[in-house]
Amino acid sequence: MSSVPVYEEELDGLLLMEYEEFELKHPSFLVLGLPDTGLVGVISANHLVETLGMKEVAGIDVMTLMPPVAVISKGAVRPPLRIYVKDNLMALTAEAPVPPASVHALAKMIVDYAMKRGVDYIVSIVGVASPARINIEKPRVYWIASNEKARKLMEGVEAEGFLNGYLVGPYALILKNAIRARVPNLVLLADAYIEFPDPEAAAEVLNVLSKITGVQVDTKKLLEQAEMIRLRLRGLMKQTKQTMAEMGGPSPLMYA
């Protein structure tokens, strides 16, 4: 990872940097792991990066991030949103929730970037707040497709279409932008604890993702490490809960 980006672009306080040249194989998938319900996206994307040994090639910095934080990792400053690549997969993971003020710009930046890089499909991973999650042993996976091409991905895959409900936050805007830009966007949702990191939900989504992309992702290690992942992600979960509340997302029914 070089410290001087080979490419940069800025949009409303967001800075996208590529650290090196890279090529994506096709059909290519951009998998999004943004902090949301149960951190299902973050856990899924992190697991992809680790098990597939994906390479960090780019990142997005939120210059208006509050509190102002510089994440130091392996001795270098790294942005809170990181982009990794391997063969036909690109994964975006996040170390901090997206501030509500940056959600619009980020959604635009991600869809524009996907088009620029010739990404064939954007796959958003998110938890669906399930009040009965505690009684569900195997979280179910649902999907939303932005268009026919995205819908075709789900043919022969065991998952339910998500017919009624709502998405709040960055994924909602990414979906709308993708529809407008005619970029196929598939949203994969899994039953999840609203406010606890949910590696089991992530494992179910990854099983579906394996079928769609043809890239086998072993989730055994993810389930083995589930408790440590939950422990490690407590802080991010708390921040995410706060951010979700600010965006008016599903909130705890505390003394409602």
The residue to which tokens 């979960």 are assigned: 237
Q: Does 166 bind another protein (CB under 8 A)?
A: no
Q: Does 71 bind another protein (CB under 8 A)?
A: no
Q: Specify the stretch interacting with another protein by CB under 8 A; choose among 54-62, 159-167, 178-186, 248-256.
A: 248-256
Minimum distance between the CB of residue 230 and another protein, rounded to whole angstroms? 4
Minimum distance between the CB of residue 162 and another protein, rounded to whole angstroms? 23
Helix (H, G, I), strand (E, B) or coil at 86: strand
> What is the rounded CA–CA span in Å between residue 186 and residue 174?
10
**Position among 63, 70, 76, 228 found at the interface with another protein (CB under 8 A):** 228
| Nearest residue (CB) to another protein, 86 versus 241 | 241
| Nearest residue (CB) to another protein, 64 versus 73 | 73
Residues 6+ apart with CB under 8 A from 3: 76
Q: Which amino acid is at 48?
A: L
CB-neighbour burial class of residue 179 (10 A; exposed 0-12, middle 13-18, buried 19+): middle
**Residues 247 and 169: beta-carbon distance below 8 Å:** yes
Helix (H, G, I), strand (E, B) or coil at 183: coil
Q: Does 196 bind another protein (CB under 8 A)?
A: yes
Q: Does 253 bind another protein (CB under 8 A)?
A: yes
> What is the rounded CA–CA span in Å between residue 227 and residue 98?
25
Q: Which amino acid is at 148?
A: E
Minimum distance between the CB of residue 232 and another protein, rounded to whole angstroms? 6
**Position among 4, 132, 163, 254 found at the interface with another protein (CB under 8 A):** 254
**Residues 92 and 45: beta-carbon distance below 8 Å:** yes
**Residues 88 and 29: beta-carbon distance below 8 Å:** yes
Minimum distance between the CB of residue 256 and another protein, rounded to whole angstroms? 5
| Nearest residue (CB) to another protein, 143 versus 193 | 193
Minimum distance between the CB of residue 134 and another protein, rounded to whole angstroms? 6
Q: Which residues bind another protein (CB under 8 A)?
A: 131, 134, 193-197, 200, 226-228, 230-232, 234-235, 237-239, 242, 245, 252-256
